Amino acid sequence: MTLRLTYRGETAVPVEIEGLTPDWACDKSPAEIERFEIFHGNRKIPLAEMFRVEGDASDKKWEFHGDLYGVHWIGAQMVSGEIRVCGRAGRHVGSQMRGGEIRVEGDARGWVGAEMCGGFIHVRGNGGHLIGAAYRGSAKGMTGGTILVDGNAGNEIGLTMRRGMIAIGGGTGDMLGFNMIAGTILGFGECGIRPGAGMRRGMIGLLGPNPCRLLPSFRYASTQRTPVLPMLLRDLRSKGLAFDASLLESEFDFYRGDFVSVGRGEIVVRAGASV
């Protein structure tokens, strides 16, 4: 039986539920889960003050109900299980998660999957800034797993990411893949300025019809119909991400850079697109 958590809070003060995961709760009764301490601003309160808890946590399947746009750290540090947010979610969804699945049916705010190293996150609406990114002062961002966002996303997506996949169905903001170490980022809509700035390795796909101008520190390498991108795209489609099906048969232009850094990264655009 699924554990159902219904948010009852009516406050503009942030609510933080870091550490409340299916792994922690799987052997707890609803009464024990209700006593879990969360933060309302800088004040510690029991979960029951903000959430109604119903069901059984033993199968590690959770549903969150209500408007959770002011509730942060949902699924942070989780290792296994499934979380479904039936609406919007706050910041740090799936931050530092190592496994399991999180599905958000609406929008999510910044830092989705920040520094995650495994698992799967799918945001059906829009995402905020710094998806899959490193926290300020950290050497590495995302090091594994998959993040899908059906809508638009903000700035610095994949900041200093090391491994994993980020796919954004809509547009992205500035500095996509900034200081990227490795991994894959695919964007299917418009892109802001300076994608790939400082990237060392990895691949960024600017797969929308009008990719932005690349930095002069990227150089054209080749035009080809590679088998790798269609394979990645089919996998994303099987996971629920929608995109222009013509990409599966397209040729792509490959650019190498960023040559102000190691210069072994790739930016991929549709063949003939002006960049």
Say what the pLDDT of residue 42 is.
96
Residue 226 clears pLDDT 90, i.e. is over it: no
Inside any domain, residue 236: yes
Distance, in Å, from the CA atom of 37 to the CA atom of 20, rounded to the nearest integer, reads: 9
Report H helices in the chain. 22-25, 30-34, 228-238
CA 81, CA 178: separation in Å to the nearest integer? 31
pTM, entire model? 0.96
Identify the pLDDT of residue 129.
98
Any domain includes 45: no
Mean pLDDT of 155-170: 98
Name the domain count of the chain: 1
**Residue entry with tokens 């964007």:** 187
Cα–Cα dist 265/109, whole Å: 28
Quick one: pLDDT at residue 232?
A: 96
Look at residue 264 and tell me whether its pLDDT is greater than 80: yes
Q: Please say if the pLDDT value at position 274 is more than 80.
A: no
pLDDT of amino acid 1: 77
87-121 pLDDT per residue, tens: 999 999 999 999 999 999 999 999 999 999 999 99
- Looking at the domain assignment, is residue 63 inside a domain? no
Mean pLDDT of the 118-135 span? 98
Instruction: Give the domain extent around 266.
Output: 129-270
Considering the chain, what is the average pLDDT of its residues?
96
- Under 8 Å between Cβ of 223 and 204: no
- 164 has a pLDDT exceeding 80: yes
**Average pLDDT value for residue range 136-144:** 96
Residue 231 DSSP label: H
* pLDDT score of 273: 80
Measured from the Cβ of residue 2, the count of other Cβ atoms closer than 10 Å reads: 15
Q: Helix, strand, coil % (nearest 5) of the chain?
A: 10, 30, 60
Q: Report pLDDT for 155.
A: 98
Per-residue pLDDT reduced to its tens digit, 4-62? 999 999 899 999 999 999 999 999 999 999 999 999 999 999 999 999 999 999 999 99
User: For 143-158, what is each residue's pLDDT tens digit?
Assistant: 999 999 999 999 999 9
> Is residue 242 one of the residues assigned to a domain?
yes
Whole-angstrom distance, CA of residue 275 vs CA of residue 259: 17
pLDDT in tens, 212-221: 999 999 999 9
Residue 245, both tokens: 């099906």
- Residue 40 has a pLDDT of 97
Q: pLDDT exceeding 90 applies to what percent of the chain?
A: 95
- Asked if residues 174 and 156 have their Cβ atoms less than 8 Å apart, the reply is yes
- Rounded to 10 degrees, the C-alpha dihedral 86/120/2/93 comes to -50
Q: Where are the beta strands (DSSP E) in 34-116?
A: 37-40, 43-46, 51-54, 61-65, 71-72, 82-85, 101-104
Q: Which residues of 243-255 are buried (b: 16+ CB within 10 A; e: fewer)?
A: beeebeeeebbbb
